[in-house]
Structure 1
Amino acid sequence: MREDLLNKLREKHLQIALDFIDLDIAYEIARQTRDLNNVIIEAGTPLVKSQGIAGLLKLRETSKILLADTKTADAGDVEVEIAWRGKADIMTVLGIMDDSTIESAVRRARELKLIVQADLIGVKDTVDRAKELFRLGVDIVGFHVGLDVQKKRNITVASLKEEIAEVGKSGLVSVAGGLTPNSIAELSDLPISIYVVGGAITRSQSPRKVTEEIVNILSNTTIPRR
Structure 2
Amino acid sequence: MRKLQIALDLLDLDKAIEIALEVADYIDYIEAGTPLIKKYGMKAVEKLKDNIGKTVVADMKIMDTGGLEAELAFQYGADYVTVLAASHLKTIKDVVDTAYKYSKGSMVDTIAIEEPNQIFRKLDKLDRKPDYLIIHSGIDMQITGITPEILIREVGSDIKGYRIGVAGGIKLENIDSILMTKDIELIIVGGGLTKAKNPREIAKKLRQKINEY
Distance 1:172 1:195, change over 3 A: same
Superposed counterparts of 1:41-60, under 5 Å: 41-60=30-49
Equivalence for 1:172: 163
Matched, 1:202 2:194: yes
Residue 131 of structure 1 deviates from its aligned partner by: 4.2
Equivalence for 1:143: 135
* 2:208 paired residue among 204, 210, 216: 216
Distance 1:196 1:164, change over 3 A: farther
Residues 72-124 of structure 1 show CA distances to partners (whole Å, capped at 9, x for unaligned) of 00110011112212211110000001111111111111111111100011224
Equivalence for 1:5: none
Distance 1:111 1:43, change over 3 A: same
Matched, 1:97 2:77: no
* 2:67 paired residue among 66, 77, 84: 77
Residues 152-187 of structure 1 show CA distances to partners (whole Å, capped at 9, x for unaligned) of x22311222323542431210011110111321122
Matched, 1:125 2:115: yes
Equivalence for 2:52: 62
Alignment check: 8 A CA contact 1:56 1:88 kept: yes
Alignment check: 8 A CA contact 2:112 2:141 kept: no
**Which sections of structure 1, spanning at least 5 residues, go unmatched?**
1-10, 222-226
Equivalence for 1:114: 104
Alignment check: 8 A CA contact 1:158 1:183 kept: no
- Of 203-212 and 81-90, more deviation after overlay is shown by 81-90
Superposed counterparts of 1:10-25, under 5 Å: 11-25=1-15
| Amino acid in structure 2 at the alignment position of 1:104 | D
Looking at structure 2, the residues matched to 146 and 164 of structure 1 have their Cα atoms a distance apart, in angstroms, of 17
Looking at structure 1, the residues matched to 138 and 40 of structure 2 have their Cα atoms a distance apart, in angstroms, of 22
- Of 87-96 and 119-128, more deviation after overlay is shown by 119-128
Q: Identical aligned pairs, as a percentage?
A: 33
| Count of aligned positions | 209
RMSD between superposed Cα atoms in Å: 1.5
Residue 63 of structure 1 deviates from its aligned partner by: 3.9
